[in-house]
Every structure is written in structure tokens, then in C-alpha cells.
Structure 1
Amino acid sequence: MICTHSYGKANEAESHSRIEIIDDEEIMPDQVKWINKLKGARVLVIGGTSGLGFGVAEASVEHGVSKLIISSSSQKRLDDAVSKLKNSYPSSSTEITAYQCDLADESKLSQNVQDLFSKVGELDHIIFTAGDAPLLTPFVDSNFESIKQAGMVRFFAPLLVGRYGYKNLVASPASSIVLTSGASSEKPIPGWTATSSYLSGLHGMMRGMAFDLKPIRVNLVIPGGVDTEMWNILDQESRESVVEELKRQTTTGRVGTVQNIAEAYLYCMKDRNVTGSTINTNGGRFLV
């Protein structure tokens, strides 16, 4: 006996799905057009050993990418991250590799970025989440050298990643670059003028790249406060104080988590119609 059922009337113009039951046993597979958008993709996550970058790396494996490459300045962190990913997903067929790349050394920055892209091969997505400790010296006490260094990883590195990395991307709207800024690019923090200047500059960088590198898509994720390993540089009391202050700056009463904010990067990779856009995920910080 064969019974056929149709469903999904709202999308009949695009897809007419059928389930066939043969002798009450065999069922035709459901359509799959939503959850496999990253299946088979090749993704490079720069800054992929911790925090948001590692979260995006995990999510990429779970979404079935064929190749995941992570990059960081520390070989030990790379080794640990690769081991953790492979242990967490023992049945995954994703090829996971890692390459060291120091983005903080001004004298070697350009060459280091070029060397990285000479190794990674053809890509579909480049995710940039790399960062370092913010310039903690108050702006009025800072000097030119410290101001310049504050932008080495945050600003100059992603600029060069776009400059050299686009050649590794398939020239298609299916390909993307996703950069990372911060909430202080739009809502100032006292004493952070230098750091905020670079974070604000990423808005213009992203839009310029979206034009200059088309049809490749370029977007910018702007997280608010995120509870990551970055805050481990503080003692426990100071860390708790920072977290409590970040909570007060939201309407949700919570600090962002990697598990939530990583979704913004997945969206930027999946939606082949989004480019030149900023994606805010900050718990309502701009409302407070």
C-alpha cells in the first residue's frame, strides 16, 4: 500500500514535499534545505583557540563543514584547541588543521598574514575574532606607541586579512568574511578613546571591503560584554566586579555567552543575502 501526504503549503511555490509509505515500512526522506547550509564548507577562524572563535569553530564542526582551520599566535593553544575539538566530536568527518600566525608584531604582520593564506588553500568563509588585552592606560596618559599597538590585532590585522585573504575565497555570494568589533564602537567607555577609535573604524572597513571584494560578502559582528577567558587576566574579585557591571549595562540582566553570540557568525555565513551589515548582539546594552 502506498500513501502519499503533502505538507508545507506556505512554500508550495518553492518546494512540494512528499512522504511515501510503502507497505507501512519505507518512508521517503524529508527535504533538507535549512539545516545543511554550511555542510561541506571550508572555514578559517582566526582567533579560533578560545572565546568566541573557539565557539564558532565548534559550531562549524557541528554544522558539518568539510574543512576547519583555526589560527592563533600560540602553537600550544592551537594544539590544545585541535585536541579538544577532535575529542568533542570523535565521529565528525571534518578535517581540522591549525596554523600559527602572530598578528601583534608590527614588523612582521603583513608577511605573517600572507604566509597564513599561502597555507590554508581555497576557502568559503573567513571569520576574524582575534583580539588581545585592551589598552588599559587611560587615554590622557597614553602615548603614540601604545595607541598604535592597541590597533595592531584589532584593526590592522583584519584589514590585511581582507587584503590578502580574499584571493583564497571562492568569488561568489556564498563566500564571506566576518569581522568583529565591540559595543564601545557605538557607545563610549570612559578612557577607551584609542581602543574605541579602532573598533569604530571596523564599521567603515567592513563596508569598504563589501564593495571592493564583491561578490564576496563582508559583515561585522558587534558583541556586547561576553563572559570568556579574556577576563581571566583579572583577579577573581575584579573579574566578578566586571561581570556584575556588564550585567547592569543590559536589559536582560545577563552577560553574553559564547553559545549565544556565536550564532551571529553562523548567520553571517549562512545568509547569502547579507553583506555590508552590522549584527549587534549585546543584551540590550544600547538601550540602557
Structure 2
Amino acid sequence: MNEHTALVVGGTSGIGLATARRLRAMGARVHVAGRDKARLDAVAASDPELVRHRADGGDAGEIGAVAEAVGAIDWLVVSLSGGEGAGPIAELDLSALRRAFDAKLFGHLTTVQAVLPRLAPTGSITLIGAISARAAIPGTAGLAAVNGAVEAVVKPLAVELAPIRVNAVSPGLVDTPWWSALPDDAREAYFAQSARALPTGRIATADDVAEAVVLAATNRNITGTVIEADGGARLVSLG
């Protein structure tokens, strides 16, 4: 079996890094790209087998240069996020929401465009959205708009780019650095309250979601699909 090559953009922490580790464990040659030097240095220490690139997913030139350096790519995973866009609509900072669209939606689209010339015809693109796109959680209208936009491109791209497969994974509450802006006690209290409401009774780990990402990326019979790996968050009220 030929070794596959994966590129995980946003692969230096959280779901992206967990995905990179799983793909490497499958025998793939895995490249990770991120813009934060400290995180890249941490990956160099913890996962030296991952090939690291410093690049911004929203910069077509930087990501294009990474793709050229990698060569033929079988599996592209785009795991970009931002910390803005949440809050009650009456008080929502729309300038911050625009930045959130730039960071996530346009970051995803920029990365896909830049890497597309290097994708193998039998390859795949896997995007990371969020269950806020379909849940009814107060204070998440902005997040719903951003993630809904990311997930909305999956079906048309799956047809447009075929036979390249295009999918997304839609996580719910996941214990990742995305929550680091909250004080520890506030985060722990929110997680405990939410876990009691979730059908699964627990907050997901990054590796839980990465397992679904790897399925979407590697299974050649899945395309045009958004996999909901949300612990049932869309089924209950988390307000």
C-alpha cells in the first residue's frame, strides 16, 4: 500500500492536532500548518514525526507555498477557528463577527483554493464546522452564521470537485484551547452543567472528534456529508 500524504491546516492544537496524530498512526505522512510559532515548537517536541509549516490559513500565498513544498496531497483537513462571533444579538459586535467570517469561512475557502492544484484526483477535503450551525443555543447567532456558511459549501463542492471528496465534521462542546479565554472555574462549571444536559453525558475530547474527521477524510464512499459529532447537543437545550 502506498503511503498517503495528509495536510492539516490548523493542525497545531485541538481537533487539528488530534486528527494529525490519528492520520500518522494510520501510516500517513502528515504535514501540519499553523501560524503560531509557540504551538509549532510544542508540536516539534511532542510529535516530531509530524512535518511542520508556519503559515496562515487565510493567506493564499503562504498556504500555496506549503502545498507546493508538500507535493501531491491525498487528504486535506482544514481546522481553522477564531475566538470571536459569540454573544446576544442585541449586543453583538458586528465588526468582530466580520473578523470571525474572515478567520473561519474565508480561511477555509482560501486554504481549499490554494491547495486544490496539489490535491490527488482520488483525494479528499474535510472541513470543520460546528453544531451551532443547527442548534438553538442563545447567544450563538453569530457562530451559527459562520459555521452554517462553512458547512453550506460542502454539497456544492462535493459535486463541483468530484471525484475529489468533500465533507465536514460538526463538533459540539469539545474540551480544547478554544475555551481558554474563560477562567478555569467558569469553564469547568459550564462544562459540568452542559454534560448533564447532553445525551452522551460528557464533554467531548479533541480525539473523539478527530476520529470522525479521519473517517470523513479517508473513507472513499463518503462525500457531500456533514458528520455531526456533537454528543447530541443539537437535540437538547444548552441555554
Task: Indicate whether the TM-score tops 0.5.
Answer: yes
> For 1:190, which of 125, 138, 158 is the aligned residue?
138
Please report how far the alpha carbon of residue 128 of structure 1 lies from its aligned counterpart in structure 2 after TM superposition: 1.1
Please report how far the alpha carbon of residue 180 of structure 1 lies from its aligned counterpart in structure 2 after TM superposition: 0.6
> For 1:84, which of 26, 46, 49 is the aligned residue?
46
Equivalence for 2:147: 199
* Structure 1 residues 255 and 80, CA gap change in structure 2 (3 angstroms): same
Letter of the aligned partner of 2:45 in structure 1? S
Equivalence for 1:98: 52
> For 1:240, which of 160, 168, 188 is the aligned residue?
188
Question: Which string of whole-angstrom CA distances, capped at 9 and with x for unpartnered residues, describes residues 195-242 of structure 1?
Answer: 211101122211121112111000010111111122222211111122
> For 1:120, which of 70, 85, 96 is the aligned residue?
70
**Aligned 8 A contact 1:72 1:100 in 2:** yes
Cα distance in 1 for residues equivalent to 2:182 and 2:235:
28
Question: Which string of whole-angstrom CA distances, capped at 9 and with x for unpartnered residues, describes residues 12-39 of structure 1?
Answer: xxxxxxxxxxxxxxxxxxxxxxxx8xx7
Corresponding residue SS for 2:153: helix
Equivalence for 2:174: 226
Letter of the aligned partner of 2:100 in structure 1? A
- 5+ residue gaps, structure 2, are none
Please report how far the alpha carbon of residue 77 of structure 1 lies from its aligned counterpart in structure 2 after TM superposition: 0.9
Matched-pair identity in %: 27
Structure 1 runs of 4+ with >2 Å offset: 109-120, 134-145
* Structure 1 residues 188 and 116, CA gap change in structure 2 (3 angstroms): farther
Cα distance in 1 for residues equivalent to 2:55 and 2:137:
30
Pair 1:264 & 2:212 matched:
yes
**Aligned 8 A contact 2:57 2:110 in 1:** no
**Aligned 8 A contact 1:103 1:152 in 2:** no
Cα distance in 2 for residues equivalent to 1:52 and 1:190:
24
Pair 1:53 & 2:1 matched:
no
Cα distance in 2 for residues equivalent to 1:248 and 1:183:
18
Corresponding residue SS for 1:279: strand
Equivalence for 1:138: 88
Equivalence for 1:158: 108
Aligned residues: 236
Letter of the aligned partner of 1:100 in structure 2? R
Question: Which string of whole-angstrom CA distances, capped at 9 and with x for unpartnered residues, describes residues 91-138 of structure 1?
Answer: xxxx6311112246xxxx333333332332211001111212132443
TM superposition score normalised by structure 2: 0.91
Cα distance in 2 for residues equivalent to 1:153 and 1:179:
14
**Aligned 8 A contact 1:250 1:284 in 2:** yes
**Structure with the higher fraction of residues in helix conformation:** 2
Cα distance in 1 for residues equivalent to 2:79 and 2:194:
20
Letter of the aligned partner of 2:75 in structure 1? H
1:13-52 to 2 correspondences below 5 Å? 40-52=3-15
Moved more, 95-104 or 231-240: 95-104
**Aligned 8 A contact 2:87 2:142 in 1:** no
Cα distance in 2 for residues equivalent to 1:246 and 1:128:
27
Quick one: higher RCO (CA 8 Å, sep 6+), 1 or 2? Answer: 2
**Aligned 8 A contact 2:9 2:80 in 1:** yes
Cα distance in 1 for residues equivalent to 2:198 and 2:9:
28
Coordinate RMSD, CA, aligned: 1.8
